Amino acid sequence: MPRPRSLDKDRIATAALAVIDAHGPAGLSMRAVANQLAMSPMALYRYVEDRDELETLVVEKVLAEADSEPPSRGSWQERVAYLMEQVRAAVSAHPAVVPLTLSRRHSSPSLRRWSETVLGVLTEAGLEGPRKAVALRCLLGYLVGAIQLDHLGPLAGHGTSALADLPSAEFPYLSATAREARHLGAEEEFAGGLAMVLRGITDDS
């Protein structure tokens, strides 16, 4: 196959993302991306080293869609919530990429810029030293976990229904909570949990 003109890393990332969207992470390979670009696999190796680099390019492609600049007005909680939702929306647009974001997020320039912005907002909120480090880690943990749960185990899924059907005599709290959870939407779940996390960050008790 002829080599396409003006091939750059962004075009390769776009092609790799198209492969993952269609076939999942397991379908990603140098050959599959080369086919998407109408070129030979050997020609693709002139631009990227291996599948690992393809995964890194894809994760950056997705995370680059997240706005790393918060609104100029609003409380620090509102500004952080905006930044959190930006990453969630970017990753949620490509659910098949979720597993890759966990292992490749540290190599993403966009996520580094996002983290720098979040730390700036936390600094303005009065957090310093270890508390600020723990706060960022807590926010990232919640974000990653929420995205995973949203796509791998949503409240509207069969798992919640199975828990709701447990015998109430044996599992009174779990079954009752699951019955309530079935009516929660993904947006309400994410926003509600994030509000709890943000309140806890500045709770000095």
Collapsing DSSP states into helix, strand and coil, what is residue 18? helix
Write down the number of H helices and E strands in the chain: 11, 0
Q: Which domains does the chain have, with CATH numbers?
A: 9-48 (1.10.10.60), 76-201 (1.10.357.10)
Render the burial of 64-95: b for 16+ CB within 10 Å, e for the rest.
bebbbebeeeeebbebbbebbbbbbebbbebe
Higher pLDDT: 193 or 101? It is 193
pLDDT in tens, 64-105: 999 999 888 899 999 999 999 999 999 989 988 988 887 887
Q: What is the pLDDT of residue 52?
A: 93
**Percent of all residues in the chain with a pLDDT value above 90, rounded to a whole number:** 72
